[in-house]
Amino acid sequence: MTAARIKCPYCGRAVATLPANPWRPFCSERCRLLDLGAWLSARHAIPGEDVLADRADNEPPADDPE
């Protein structure tokens, strides 16, 4: 059986993609969780900032006479 050698996407350490490695393509559970957390926070942060920036420019006045 040949094990492909890849680099952990999070820390860059060489990791063997063995079926016995449950964290592949990461080297460990820690890297998998940290990478997932970074991805999720980035995904939440970008649209959130976009919406806030957009509202700041386009928000109508709150005290409209009508």
The amino acid at residue 25 is: P
Can you tell me which of 4, 18, 24, 27 binds Zn ion, judged by CB under 5 A? 27
Spatial separation of the C-alpha atoms in residues 24 and 5, rounded to whole Å: 11
At its nearest, how many Å lie between Zn ion and the CB of residue 7?
A: 8
Spatial separation of the C-alpha atoms in residues 15 and 17, rounded to whole Å: 6
The answer to the question of residue 8 lying near Zn ion (CB under 5 A) is: yes
The amino acid at residue 65 is: P
The answer to the question of residue 6 lying near Zn ion (CB under 5 A) is: no
At its nearest, how many Å lie between Zn ion and the CB of residue 35?
A: 8
Can you tell me which of 11, 23, 34, 35 binds Zn ion, judged by CB under 5 A? 11
